[in-house]
Structure 1
Amino acid sequence: MRIIYVYDTIAVVGGIERIFVDKMNYLADHLHHEVYLVTSSQGDHPVSFPLSPNVHHVDLDIRHHVCYRYLLPRRVWMRFRLQRLGKRRLKEIIRKIDPDIIICTTTYMAGEICRLKCRAKKVIESHGAREFIHLTDDFKLGFFKDLRNKWNTRRRFRLIEKYSDVVVTLTQADAKAWSKASHVRVIPNFTKFIPPQSSPCEAHRVIAVGRLTYQKGFDRLIDAWSIVNKQHPSWRLDIFGEGIRREALNGQIRRNGLAKSVTIHPFTKNIAQEYLNSSIFALSSNYEGFVLVLLEAMGCGLPCVAFDCPNGPAETIRDGEDGFLVKNGDIKAFAEALCYFIEYKEERKAFGRQARENIERYSPEAIMPMWEKLFNELKEK
């Protein structure tokens, strides 16, 4: 089959970008489909994860950033022109490739792709909890911008529900939110992130990974760590991530007197080694779609503590077996769960071993046949 993935740019190190590249590589290299990645504004930026030579990359060369050289109203006019140019070039490349399947996310050109007049089946991937997709990293842009974001998101969702052939969600919880779509399928992400060795869970170190934004809730983790640190001052918390809340979080660390036990590090390409050098993984998110870093940590044999936030952790962690799910927002209970793993080393190691075993259900060999089955069903229609 000829399959096209459409995305704006794969130039940052992020979860969606990683899983997109991993799936394209698997479809091309293992299932032998003819796979295309169509980006709109990749430009000269390298693809942030290794892309198989069997995946054809086409960039539409739409330089959206040039809009910001101009003041209003010319900026609005330039944005309009570039959007039209992008749609025209996308139509041309789809006409040329004549794919069987077109795949995109709910956040980029989904409405336009769903309404394209072509024989291809349109698959829309929901990579975030539907009720939170309209939120930005800033969380609040201002009343009118927030209102515009909500309106545009709802309009896009209506088009997806009306015109897409299938919406693929990562969790059962998110699938319920798409009940108005004609066809919904749950296919979780997979992870290849299972190194040959496992963490010995001996280091006095807790690790957390993610963008420094409201969504990831690191302010809640730091509050919980204030409790943990009083009982276990020899333990450290290391957070790996970058984002707009770095300064605010560092200020919170200083105010709470945690500068010697909490450190925020930039993202690293060798995150596997950081997991292996840790003993517990902490997930403090306010909301999620699906938590790839949780799969990574479990694949490295780490027991996990997570808030039971919407929508991902409860479908990945088996509470009391490979980690603990804590009532969302209960800082004290979160700290107590961390303290339990700190104080009971053998339990910590047993949970870590079970996490590594349980995560096998998210291997490529377990997940990608679900995609192959879906594609065959769509082709038969």
Structure 2
Amino acid sequence: MVKLLYITNGIHGSGGLERVLSIKASYLAEHYNYDITILSLNDLKEPFYQFSPKIKFVSIDVSGNPLAYFLKYKRGIRDIIKSFKPDIISVCDDGLKGFILPQILKSKPPIIYERHASVSLNFNTANKGFFQKLKNKFTYFLMRWAATKFDKFVVLTNGNLKEWKDGNLEVIPNPLSFYPKELLQKTKLPKTILAVGSHSYNKGYDLLLQSWKKVNEQFPDWKLMIYGKKNPECKLVELSNQLRISSSVTFNDPIPNIEEAYAKAAMLVLPSRSEGFGMVLIEAMAYGLPCISYDCPHGPGDIITNGEDGYLIENGNVDEFANRIIGLIQNPENLLQIGVKARRNVKRYLPEHIVDQWDKLFKTLLV
């Protein structure tokens, strides 16, 4: 039995990383008989998503000033490794601290880094001052160097390969969360467009609202439903009021059974400025929804075949984004045909295909 330790920030959040970890770890425990422990930080809450009962959870306290934080982080992880004695470690942390683990673990089993986001997530791309650019370049240099110290550095898309040095890289995409065997027949096309993801600059909801203004002018009876953790600093409610579209836009909290929202929508839109993968794309496609996404770095371009099972829009082009939404609304037959192709094409991300790649990678490193 392979003993696998996952190290992550937390499992109580509603993001894509947490969802993917719940699917992947549970599948390895249930179908491949892995002995799995998940180590998280300051995480005493219940998981947002469901995990296999075979999985064990531990949490370490890393509060305090930066020095105290680092020392607790280092000591806590070393203690867990000493107690659990894993055969392999997989780091799921898109922050900077996860990169230092090969340096702080003196003697260790093979260690993998799972990169769930584009590099731009670590940088404030809205700030283009000279010193911020210099800091970003230096940080990126350190990240690329640190990435080479892992036994394997796993990214989600072929586009992500461009962000890192060659050598220990491997591409393994995310697995599907669900794939309904049958879809309920919709007697008429729902006049609802869906977006899913936490509020942040990176997710591009400010761009989406600008596009939606143009859509709303032509189709005032259509609704935009946004599900995701809210962030008042993004001022999205204020922006929707300024654009005079607030009556057609609803900001919802995240829900664990997001598939209910997919079942009630006509299409999904992803306005992100960058993505590690785009988990919501494959979930929506499983429900037969055409997806419109910016061709951002780097996930959507690997998932969507432009014009066949969805549309890729020039990154940041709000007018073209709006026009594609309008085009699908005006042509319901084309919308449905694209949705059928999307549902068929997304089968390549079923867990039995993706988790098998992880099993083979782990066992290769253990030889």
Asked if TM exceeds 0.5, the reply is yes
1:190 to partner: Cα distance: 0.6
Pick one of 121, 128, 133 that aligns with 1:133.
Answer: 121
Secondary structure of 1:305's aligned partner: strand
1:166 to partner: Cα distance: 0.8
Secondary structure of 1:288's aligned partner: coil
Does the 8 Å contact 1:166/1:184 carry over to 2? Answer: yes
Does the 8 Å contact 1:237/1:261 carry over to 2? Answer: yes
Residues 1:294 and 2:294 aligned together: no
Does the 8 Å contact 1:128/1:288 carry over to 2? Answer: yes
Residues 1:120 and 2:109 aligned together: yes
Alpha-carbon distance in structure 1 between the residues aligned to 2:349 and 2:207: 28
Alpha-carbon distance in structure 2 between the residues aligned to 1:14 and 1:146: 28
Stretches of structure 1 that go unaligned for 5 or more consecutive residues are 68-75
Q: Mapping of 1:150-229 within 5 angstroms?
A: 151-152=138-139, 154-161=141-148, 163-180=149-166, 182-198=167-183, 200=186, 202-229=189-216
Residues 1:329 and 2:316 aligned together: yes
Q: Counterpart of 1:111?
A: 99
Q: Mapping of 1:1-381 within 5 angstroms?
A: 1-42=2-43, 44-60=44-60, 62-64=61-63, 67=64, 76=65, 79-105=66-92, 106-107=94-95, 109-115=97-103, 116-130=105-119, 132-135=120-123, 151-152=138-139, 154-161=141-148, 163-180=149-166, 182-198=167-183, 200=186, 202-245=189-232, 248-380=235-367
Aligned pair count reads 362
Does the 8 Å contact 1:171/1:188 carry over to 2? Answer: yes
Deviations 1:162-184 (A, max 9, x none): x211100001111122124x310
Does the 8 Å contact 1:212/1:243 carry over to 2? Answer: yes
Stretches of structure 2 that go unaligned for 5 or more consecutive residues are none
Between 1 and 2, higher relative CO (CA 8 Å, sep ≥ 6) is seen in: 2
Does the 8 Å contact 2:62/2:70 carry over to 1? Answer: no
Does the 8 Å contact 2:49/2:256 carry over to 1? Answer: no
Alpha-carbon distance in structure 2 between the residues aligned to 1:313 and 1:252: 26
Q: Alpha carbons of 1:314 and 1:256: their partners in 2 closer, same or farther (altered >3 Å)?
A: same
The more displaced of 31-40 and 164-173 is: 31-40
Alpha-carbon distance in structure 2 between the residues aligned to 1:11 and 1:153: 28
1:310 to partner: Cα distance: 1.1
1:153 to partner: Cα distance: 5.4
Letter aligned with residue 127 of structure 1: H
Letter aligned with residue 299 of structure 1: A
Q: TM-score, normalised by structure 1?
A: 0.88
Does the 8 Å contact 1:114/1:160 carry over to 2? Answer: no
Alpha-carbon distance in structure 2 between the residues aligned to 1:372 and 1:15: 21
Alpha-carbon distance in structure 2 between the residues aligned to 1:152 and 1:220: 28
- The percentage of aligned residue pairs carrying the same residue is 31
Alpha-carbon distance in structure 2 between the residues aligned to 1:347 and 1:154: 46
The more displaced of 150-159 and 369-378 is: 150-159
RMSD over aligned CA atoms reads: 2.3
The more displaced of 146-155 and 270-279 is: 146-155
Alpha-carbon distance in structure 2 between the residues aligned to 1:46 and 1:203: 34
Letter aligned with residue 120 of structure 1: P
1:347 to partner: Cα distance: 1.0
1:126 to partner: Cα distance: 0.9
Letter aligned with residue 262 of structure 1: V
Letter aligned with residue 125 of structure 1: E
Does the 8 Å contact 2:3/2:87 carry over to 1? Answer: yes
